[in-house]
Amino acid sequence: MKRMNPSTKLEKISGIIKSRGVTHGGWQENMDNTAALWSHFLGIQISSWQVCVMLCLLKVSRMTCGGKFNIDDFDDHVGYAAMAAACAENEKKEKEV
């Protein structure tokens, strides 16, 4: 049995993010749009990286409350964490300009 390694897992998750972009639109635009909607709804400013972190927390909640092991929760969590890092980096670069 071939064991999974982190690099292979990250490549798989990268592929998932790309394929979801085809059906749901680009990840950055989606997170920016969600941040704008949540900001309006809550009456406070939410950034795109914060959206990603909150989605990570949703996945952690599902992992602990669901009672059933689901590898997709881990994949989604890693994907949202990667998006959070990219959003934060993009936000930092935009502020520097």
For residue 48, is pLDDT > 80?
A: yes
pTM: 0.89
Which of 73, 79, 96, 74 has its CA nearest to residue 30?
A: 79
User: What mean pLDDT is reported for the chain?
Assistant: 93
- pLDDT tens by residue, 7-35: 999 999 999 999 999 999 999 999 999 99
The pair of three-digit structure tokens given for residue 14, joined into one six-digit string = 């990268």
Structural domain boundaries of the chain? 19-96
| DSSP letter string, 8-22 | HHHHHHHHHHHHHHH
